[in-house]
Amino acid sequence: MKLAFLPIISATLLSCSLLSACSNELADKTASTVSLKQAYKNSFLIGTAIGNDQLMHPQAVTTKLIEKEFNAATPENDMKWERIHPLPGQYDFAAADKFVEFAQKNNIFMTGHTLLWHSQAPDWIFEDENGQAVSREVLLGRLKDHIDTVVGRYKGRVQSWDVVNEALNEDGTMRQSKWYKIIGEDMIEKAFEYAHAADPEAELNYNDYNLNNPQKRLGVLRIVKQLQDKGLRIDGVGMQGHYSLFHPDFKEVEDSIIAYAETGVKVMFTEVDISVLIFPEDAEAGADVNQNFALQEKLNPYSKGLSPEAEAALDQRYTDLFEIFLRHEKDISRVTFWGTDDGMTWRNNWPMVGRSDYPLLFDRQSKAKSAYYKILALKQ
């Protein structure tokens, strides 16, 4: 293979990005001199989700990787209602405090996740002592108390909040959650109002999956306009970015970036991962955590490792996605991966317990995969 026509770049990046054959020696050399956050420092923040195990029982290799590669972070589960506020009047801030302490120590931009979500929400929130649905006023009071307490505790430290998460159906209509059924149409407005009052300086975002979907996109645009028309603060739309080798059409992703940016808010990709696995026929693409299917071996083809063909496809998919990000970097404030390495991704067990997935840039030993070098090469 003749390479004389190629522009002169480092031997390391040539071998990684063009030949797709990085030796361990070259990979280690590159990894020691450059990082994602350094490469993209003039484009957008590069983030990761941090799980409870890492917060409460830190693994040195993971800590080192986060410190080196990322300048933004989100707690994977430990600020969700079931973890931080499991019982009436009872808050558990242990893991959330660890998250904030670690992020502050390492100058990492923090996003609190999440204040209002239909999932991972204890039943007591919506019920009285007899198990009956509470009134609108009672539920609004509980929501305000929760937001005042959680956001207030981290006021001035957590810079950004996913105020409302996944409030829409795929057709852009409001999800018929308990929140919506009890509070009604203005539940999103109230959540943003309370969050802004609790910390007037914090960035406030709406977050959801499948926001490339044109119908769902219209639903988000409606939410943004309603909040803006009411004079309420909304700073960004979080596109979760739970993608795969087969879905979605990235043109839809790009169209959504453009549409959301035109409203004047920032766009952020908040939970990026790219599955290499095929979904069951009846599964919905996206990130509905309630989906659960029996394990099928034919849908778990990489239990002993990723094939070269699948790895090459993953490389190309990540390259295509980041090329879009870079075309719109003026409108994108953050790209956060949902997990740090393949060993800790939720994709391994969703929507089938026991599956092995490889959706991130670092493998199960926290070593950079070839997709990592592909993304770095875009900034060289």
pLDDT at 23: 39
Q: What 8-state DSSP symbol labels residue 133?
A: B
Within 10 angstroms of residue 365's Cβ, the number of other Cβ atoms is: 9
Nearest to 375 by CA among 338, 339, 311, 326: 326
pLDDT at 349: 78
d(CA 21, CA 12): 10
Within 10 angstroms of residue 329's Cβ, the number of other Cβ atoms is: 14
Q: Dump strand ranges (E) for 144-212.
A: 160-165, 203-208
Q: Is the dihedral of CA 45, 98, 339, 213 positive or negative?
A: negative
Give CA separation, 302 vs 283, 298, 372, in Å: 19, 10, 20
pLDDT at 88: 97
Helix, coil or strand: residue 113 = strand
Supply the range of the domain harboring residue 236: 11-377
d(CA 15, CA 137): 62
pLDDT in tens, the chain (380 residues): 333 322 323 333 333 433 344 434 444 444 446 899 999 999 999 999 999 999 999 999 999 999 999 999 999 999 999 999 999 999 999 999 999 999 999 999 999 999 999 999 999 999 999 999 999 999 999 999 999 999 999 999 999 999 999 999 999 999 999 999 999 999 999 999 999 999 999 999 999 999 999 999 999 999 999 999 999 999 999 999 999 999 999 999 999 999 999 999 999 999 999 999 987 665 565 555 555 555 567 778 898 899 999 999 999 999 999 999 999 999 999 999 999 999 999 888 766 787 899 999 999 999 999 999 999 999 98
Q: Which helix (H) or strand (E) holds 266?
A: strand 266-275
Quote the number of domains for the chain.
Answer: 1
3-state helix, strand, coil in the chain (%, to 5): 40, 15, 40
Q: Which residue has the tokens 């070259």?
A: 26
| Backbone φ and ψ of 225, nearest 5° | -65, -40
d(CA 113, CA 164): 9
pLDDT at 31: 47
Within-domain flag for 352: yes
Within-domain flag for 81: yes
d(CA 193, CA 285): 32
Token pair recorded at residue 244: 């795969």
Within-domain flag for 1: no
pLDDT at 293: 58
Q: Which residue has the tokens 């190629």?
A: 6
Within-domain flag for 199: yes
Across-strand partners of 205? 162, 236
Q: Which residue has the tokens 């970036």?
A: 257
pLDDT at 62: 97
pLDDT at 301: 83
Within-domain flag for 345: yes
d(CA 365, CA 378): 25
Query: How far is CA 4 from its chain centroid?
Result: 41
Within-domain flag for 338: yes
The domain that contains 229 carries what CATH number?
Answer: 3.20.20.80
d(CA 252, CA 248): 7
pLDDT at 125: 98
Within-domain flag for 26: yes
Residues labelled as active-site residues: 166, 271
Tell me the residue type at 261.
A
